[in-house]
Amino acid sequence: MTIPTLTSKDAHFDYVLRLGDDALILAQRLGEWCGHAPALETDLSLANIALDLIGQATMFLGYAGELEGKGNDADKLAFHRDVNQFRNCLLVEQPNGDFGRTIARQYIFSTWQYLLYQQLARSTDPRLAEIAAKALKETTYHAELAAEWVVRLGDGTAESHERVKDGFEWCWRFVDELFSVQPLDPSIVTSGVAVDTATLRAAFDSALATTFAEATLPLPKFPRPVLGGRKGHHSEHLGHLLSDMQFLPRAYPDAVW
């Protein structure tokens, strides 16, 4: 169970936080759809994806707390950090918008996460490898479901086509961050703990091209990319999300089930 010695402890902790925070924040966003989705089927789908992501966040953040060594568990990390301590990508904190934008965001995220987990399942850190191997099975479902909806909306009515197209255009500025921001210490990539996400881009682009062709969607234009989430520089939206998500355990710190 030894983790390669090249690994800087802080970079390792930071990396696992990224994985956990991506899942946690997107789960919270998807939870906002509960009871509001366009149809019962989609309500169930989005809530179940959120549930899977909360499970993944619990595993990653629990491990992050162990690496940090300050006695924080997953709950403590989720509910007792402030906005600039979160390491999620900007894509997941964006407001849901309409169903078209939510599906565009889910497609981008789940396709990326699927490719990421495939590689992470071979991490030299056995804890990350086993979490990724388990989560990969769930994320496979998410990516498939999102791809089916992209096709259904893109190749649907004129209205659904426009909406999902607009959704992708909105989300597209956050795509580069997923592939371009490397871990704090490059040694955790070279030692095989972390995945070099730049290597996932070709497979991502190819999956996207296939889905977009089937969905009769034009490839998104390229707005100026926005970065910052991995350094804790978030949009205004994350603070509002946290004030909602963290309210209960902060107001009632002794609350138990």
Binding site for another protein (CB under 8 A): 40-41, 44-45, 47-56, 58-59, 126, 129-131, 133-135, 137-138, 140-141, 144-145
- Of 90 and 151, nearer to another protein (C-beta) is 151
Q: Rounded to an integer, what distance in angstroms lies between the CA atom of residue 160 and that of residue 177?
A: 27
CB of 147 vs another protein, minimal distance in Å: 9
Give me the half-sphere count of Cα atoms (radius 13 Å) on the Cβ side of residue 5: 0
Rounded distance between C-alpha atoms, residue 86 and residue 61, angstroms: 11
Quote the least distance from Cβ 223 to another protein, whole Å: 32
∠ CA 87-134-227, nearest 5°, is 20
The nearest distance, CB 237 to another protein, in angstroms, is: 23
Q: CB nearer to another protein: give 58 or 106.
A: 58
Nearer to another protein, 23 or 181 (CB): 23
Nearest-approach distance from CB 226 to another protein, in angstroms: 29
Min. distance of Cβ 130 from another protein in angstroms? 4
Nearer to another protein, 42 or 182 (CB): 42
Is 129 or 227 the residue whose CB approaches another protein more closely? Answer: 129
Name the minimum Å distance from CB 183 to another protein.
Answer: 23
Q: Please, which residue, 126 or 223, has the CB nearer to another protein?
A: 126
Query: How far apart, in whole angstroms, are the C-alpha atoms of residue 97 and residue 80?
Result: 27
Looking at the Cβ atoms of 79 and 141, the one nearer to another protein is: 141
Tell me the closest approach of the beta carbon of residue 189 to another protein, in angstroms: 23
